[in-house]
């Protein structure tokens, strides 16, 4: 690689089933295909190790996000593109993490609750409606949408390709991808 890679944290926030993991995987594949250093911090996986034992109270959710942010910052300042997908429902802790990380791009993965619920990718909405899961975001726990995300993907209205292209082009515009000639990496 002739140019030094810029580190950046790309933070995907949104309801369960909104499309965070799906878009993140497409971006990951595109960037790895360009030979870039990419790491992934996926909320579901992080909760099995780095933040194991934390629950879903506001305090625990915030702690979960702070720890993810801590690791994302270490990687970002070492030139890695860090893809974080986590519901991260609270605005204030997302802002706190943004302040700590020099290069931070927030992607609001937005689909209406009823669409996420229809998709019910993991069957969790059904359980939440049945009362088998408590404190489920969107059902009996809040989600505070970003006010000024760098990118918003309306996954009920856009194709995956459109959503992915939006993220990539924003990273290019902001100068986080080393080669601006990568116009259509997908
Ligand atoms: P999350 O990680 O936010 O919980 P997932 O990525 O696991 O959500 O699930 C999102 C679902 O929505 C997938 O089944 C995916 O195929 C579907 N989907 C439909 N349109 C889009 C889109 N434009 N972007 C991302 N996902 C989409």
C-alpha to C-alpha distances, 172 to 27, 90, 114, 131, 175, nearest whole angstrom: 13, 28, 33, 44, 5
Return d(Cα 169, Cα 186) in angstroms, integer. Answer: 11
Which residues does the annotation mark as catalytic? 88
Question: Radius of gyration over alpha carbons of the chain, in Å?
Answer: 16
Report the nearest-CA residue for atom 17 of ligand 1.
19
- Separation of 128 CA from ligand 1 center, angstroms? 19
Predicted pLDDT at 180: 56
Name 99's Cβ contacts closer than 8 Å, sequence gap at least 6. Answer: none
DSSP state of 69: H
CATH number at residue 92: 3.40.50.300
DSSP state of 15: -
Residue at 51 is within a domain: yes
Q: Which domain holds residue 106?
A: 8-112+143-181
Residue at 174 is within a domain: yes
Q: Is 154 in the pocket of ligand 1 (CB under 6 A)?
A: no
Token code pair at residue 99: 């302040």
Give this prediction's pTM: 0.94
Report the nearest-CA residue for atom 20 of ligand 1.
155
Q: Which residues of the chain have pLDDT under 70?
A: 1-3, 178-186
Predicted pLDDT at 4: 72
Residues 56-104: pLDDT tens digits?
999 999 999 999 999 999 999 999 999 999 999 999 999 999 999 999 9
Return d(Cα 74, Cα 3) in angstroms, integer. Answer: 21
Pocket test for ligand 1, best of 121, 124, 136, 161 (most atoms within 8 A of CB): 121
- Separation of 4 CA from ligand 1 center, angstroms? 32
- Separation of 21 CA from ligand 1 center, angstroms? 7
When divided into structural domains, the chain yields a total of 1
Residue at 63 is within a domain: yes
Predicted pLDDT at 2: 47
Residue at 21 is within a domain: yes
Predicted pLDDT at 1: 47
> Residue 109: enclosing H or E segment and its boundaries?
strand 104-110
DSSP state of 9: E
> Of 185, 116, 175, 113, which is closest to residue 150 (Cα–Cα)?
175
Residue at 163 is within a domain: yes
Residue at 127 is within a domain: no
Residue at 13 is within a domain: yes
Residue at 38 is within a domain: yes
Report the nearest-CA residue for atom 12 of ligand 1.
19
């Amino acid at each position: 690689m002739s140019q030094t890679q810029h580190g950046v944290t790309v933070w995907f926030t949104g309801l369960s089933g909104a499309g965070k993991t799906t878009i993140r995987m497409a971006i990951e594949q595109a960037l790895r295909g360009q030979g870039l250093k990419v790491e992934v911090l996926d909320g579901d996986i992080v909760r099995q190790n780095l933040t194991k034992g934390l629950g879903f109270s506001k305090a625990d959710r915030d702690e979960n996000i702070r720890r993810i942010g801590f690791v994302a910052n270490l990687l970002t300042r070492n030139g890695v593109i860090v893809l974080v997908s986590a519901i991260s429902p609270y605005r204030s802790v997302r802002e706190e993490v943004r302040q700590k990380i020099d290069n931070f791009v927030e992607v609001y993965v937005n689909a209406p609750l009823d669409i996420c619920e229809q998709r019910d990718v993991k069957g969790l909405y059904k359980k939440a409606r049945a009362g088998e899961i408590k404190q489920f975001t969107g059902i009996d726990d809040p989600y505070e949408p970003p006010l000024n995300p760098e990118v918003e993907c309306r996954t009920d209205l856009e194709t995956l390709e459109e959503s992915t292209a939006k993220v990539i082009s924003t990273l290019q515009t902001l100068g986080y991808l080393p080669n601006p000639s990568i116009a259509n990496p997908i």
